[in-house]
Amino acid sequence: MHTTRGVRIAAAAAAACAIGLLPVVASAHAVITVGGYHVAIGWQYEPPGGSSTYVGQPNGVQVFIDTLTATGDIGSPVGDLNSDCSHPDFQVTVTFDGKTSSPLCPMPTFDPDTASGRMDEYDAVLTPTKVGDYTFRIFGSIHGTAIDKSATSGPSTFDTVADQSAVDFPTAAPALGDVAAKVDQVGNRAADAAASAASAADTANRASTIAIIAVIVAALLGAANLAVVLRRRRS
């Protein structure tokens, strides 16, 4: 038992040393300084080579949190936050075109059992479904230091979400937004057709009812006339 614990501690220490040799920000992220902490936030998956984050592709909000040294350099990773998302230390919301998501709880990615992942990394699953700029807001606290900052996608922060059809080959797939719009159009047309059919059926039912009433009235009038004629003959 003590051996296993020792292996975990050693693995975590080795991972922390390895992280010190890595760049803190993978790909493009917005950098935020709050108190004694260096925070970077952006998309979890951003294709290399200057490509864009594409609409409809599974992705996520990625946050890196490290301490800052007295000289302003990046210090040690902060990997003990958001261990319980029922009581998160910090959360993230995503805003697009005036619509804001429910708060997301980025989870730590480091696994002490396997020493995999980075100790300063936190991810929350998110799939962008429309092309354009997204705003990430991070709020809460880091070891008692309050944080409430926002960053919007752009050249100096993180990727603007693009249409994937630009890199599709040999046939460009329709944009997710266009597919959704067409589905809505078909649904609306189907609803209109159903309403028209229901209205036509209602009109036909009314016409049938009126015709039946007319036949009954004609029959009654005919019977009444016959009765009058018979009475006259008897007289």
pTM for the whole structure = 0.65
118 and 7 in a common domain:
yes
Total domains present in the chain: 2
- Answer with the residue of higher pLDDT: 223 or 44: 44
Residue 157 and residue 92 share a domain: yes
- CATH code for position 136: 2.60.40.10
For residues 8 and 69, state if they share a domain. Answer: yes
Q: Give 63's contacts (C-beta < 8 A, 6+ positions apart).
A: 39, 40, 41, 90, 92, 106, 121, 122, 123, 138
Residues 111 and 29 in one domain: yes
Segment 50-68, tens digit of pLDDT: 556 899 889 999 999 999 9
Residue 192: pLDDT over 90: no
Mean pLDDT of the chain: 82
pLDDT band at 181 (very low <50, low <70, confident <90, very high): low
C-alpha span between 100 and 121 (Å, rounded): 23
Q: Which domain holds residue 224?
A: 174-235
DSSP string, 75-125: EEE---S-S-TTS-SEEEEEEETTEEPPPB-PEE--BTTTTBS-TTEEEEE
Same-domain pairing of 163 and 190: no
Residues linked to residue 23 through DSSP beta bridges, in sequence order: none
